[in-house]
Amino acid sequence: MVLTVDVGNTRIKASVFEGSTALENFIFEKKELVEKIKNILEKFPNCSDLVVASVGNIEKQAFLTFENQLNVHFFTHEDVFPFHNKYATPKTLGIDRMILAAGATLKFPKQNRLVIDAGTCITYDFIDENDNYLGGAISPGLRLRYESMHNYTAKLPLLTLEVPESYIGNSTAQAMHSGVVNGFVYEIDGFIDDYRRDFSNFIIILTGGDADFLAKRLKNTIFANSNFLLESLNQTYQYKIDND
Ligand SMILES: Nc1ncnc2c1ncn2[C@@H]1O[C@H](COP(=O)(O)OP(=O)(O)OP(=O)(O)O)[C@@H](O)[C@H]1O
Ligand SMILES: CC(C)(CO)[C@@H](O)C(=O)NCCC(=O)O
Ligand SMILES: [K+]
């Protein structure tokens, strides 16, 4: 059994895998890290490996506590990945994006793939059919859009994610929901049009904390899977074991 841990910018997600099957998923705060991992390992004593992808400030140190109990692997840029990295600054590419790209490459062989992760930030990552990772885009996530409008203005309230009634927002709240949610839908449709112009065919994978909310609102056919990062982490770890 493998315990995979995704340390995101806001919170931590974890999943226990038996082969390629996720047995249980967990979400928790950064301050609860060590305690929660202990609890998971008590519940799943057959875990032999702990695999981490972190974009947060959490250092390797926090996980080394568990090294006498199981194999701990902390993914870095030095690991083997199943794609050719064409990013001009490969050392600054987020580990989460590398794991997503690896998962897309392994799960959907020999085709163009676009991975969209709607988390704290929204990231777009494109891997072509020859397994070249080309790059993509980084934009503010939905919650970040609401928070920054509130934090950097005097009059805008702090709202939580809601389906807008119309693209014409007829109140402050509706105008903000339209801006955030419809704004994202237009953004993604615009990107998809760009990719379509240059690549005739590609699969789209949508993941992250807002994936389920967004999937319902998009007209393009999309494979939505909010657990894709953790599944990819498990799969990339198997790839590492087979190729090291
Ligand atoms: N309890 C919650 N805390 C934060 N975001 C939440 C919560 N519940 C739902 N969300 C939604 O999830 C989005 C954040 O996604 P996610 O949880 O994947 O971010 P994250 O943990 O920071 O990971 P990453 O850094 O990989 O994006 C927010 O835009 C928000 O709308
Ligand atoms: C873009 C985020 C914040 C998304 O989690 C992360 O992947 C990151 O910190 N990336 C570093 C910059 C880059 O990927 O080019
Ligand atoms: K993200």
Vertex 141 angle, CA 194 and 30, to 5°:
140
User: In this structure, are residues 89 and 103 in contact, taking their beta carbons and an 8 Å threshold?
Assistant: no
Strands 113-118 and 49-54: unpaired
- Dump pLDDT digits (tens) for 30-84: 999 999 999 999 999 999 999 999 997 777 888 888 999 999 999 999 999 999 9
Are 96 and 141 in a shared domain? yes
User: Strands (DSSP E) along 19-108, which ranges?
Assistant: 21-28, 49-54, 71-74, 84-85
Q: Is residue 242 part of a domain?
A: no
Choosing from 96, 125, 128, 210, which is the catalytic residue?
A: 96
CA distance 34 to 231: 22
What is the side-by-side order of every strand in the sheet holding 132-140? 84-85, 132-140, 121-127, 113-118, 203-207, 223-224
Q: Residue 120 belongs to a domain with what CATH number?
A: 3.30.420.40
Q: Region 134-156: what's the mean pLDDT?
A: 98
CA distance 148 to 163: 19
Are 69 and 89 in a shared domain? no
Q: Is residue 244 part of a domain?
A: no
What is the side-by-side order of every strand in the sheet holding 2-7? 21-28, 12-18, 2-7, 49-54, 71-74
User: For residue 212, which amino acid is it?
Assistant: D
In which band, very low, low, confident or very high, does the pLDDT at 99 lie, cut at 50, 70 and 90? Answer: very high
Closest ligand 2 atom to the C-alpha of 87? 15
Q: Is residue 225 part of a domain?
A: yes
Are 48 and 155 in a shared domain? no
Are 62 and 92 in a shared domain? no
Strands 121-127 and 132-140: antiparallel
Are 208 and 103 in a shared domain? yes
CA of 208 to the centre of ligand 1 (A): 7
Are 123 and 195 in a shared domain? yes
- Dump pLDDT digits (tens) for 154-197: 999 999 999 999 999 999 999 999 999 999 999 999 999 999 99
Q: Is residue 119 part of a domain?
A: yes
CA of 121 to the centre of ligand 1 (A): 9
Q: Is the C-beta atom of 142 inside 6 A of ligand 1?
A: yes
> Among residues 231, 243, 234, which one has the least CA distance to residue 49?
234
Query: Which of 43, 74, 105 is a domain's end point?
Result: 74
Q: Is the C-beta atom of 93 inside 6 A of ligand 2?
A: yes
Query: Which of 23, 54, 74 is a domain's end point?
Result: 74
Query: Which of 74, 101, 119 is a domain's end point?
Result: 74
Q: How many CB atoms lie within 10 A of CB 160?
A: 8
User: For residue 232, which amino acid is it?
Assistant: S
Are 149 and 224 in a shared domain? yes
Are 148 and 202 in a shared domain? yes
Q: Is residue 238 part of a domain?
A: no
Name the average pLDDT for the chain: 95
Q: Which residues constitute the domain of residue 146?
A: 84-233
Rounded to 10°, the helix 183-198/142-151 angle is 130
Are 8 and 66 in a shared domain? yes
Are 111 and 197 in a shared domain? yes
| Class of residue 71 by CB neighbours under 10 A (exposed 0-12, middle 13-18, buried 19+) | middle
Q: Is residue 105 part of a domain?
A: yes
User: In this structure, are residues 146 and 162 in contact, taking their beta carbons and an 8 Å threshold?
Assistant: no
User: How many structural domains comprise the chain?
Assistant: 2
Is the pLDDT at 236 greater than 90? The verdict is yes
Q: Is the C-beta atom of 233 inside 6 A of ligand 1?
A: no
Q: Is the C-beta atom of 97 inside 6 A of ligand 2?
A: yes
Does the annotation count 242 as an active-site position? Answer: no
Are 148 and 211 in a shared domain? yes
Q: Which residues lie across from 118 on neighbouring strands? A: 122
Are 120 and 56 in a shared domain? no
Q: Is residue 219 part of a domain?
A: yes
Q: Is residue 243 part of a domain?
A: no
CA of 12 to the centre of ligand 3 (A): 12
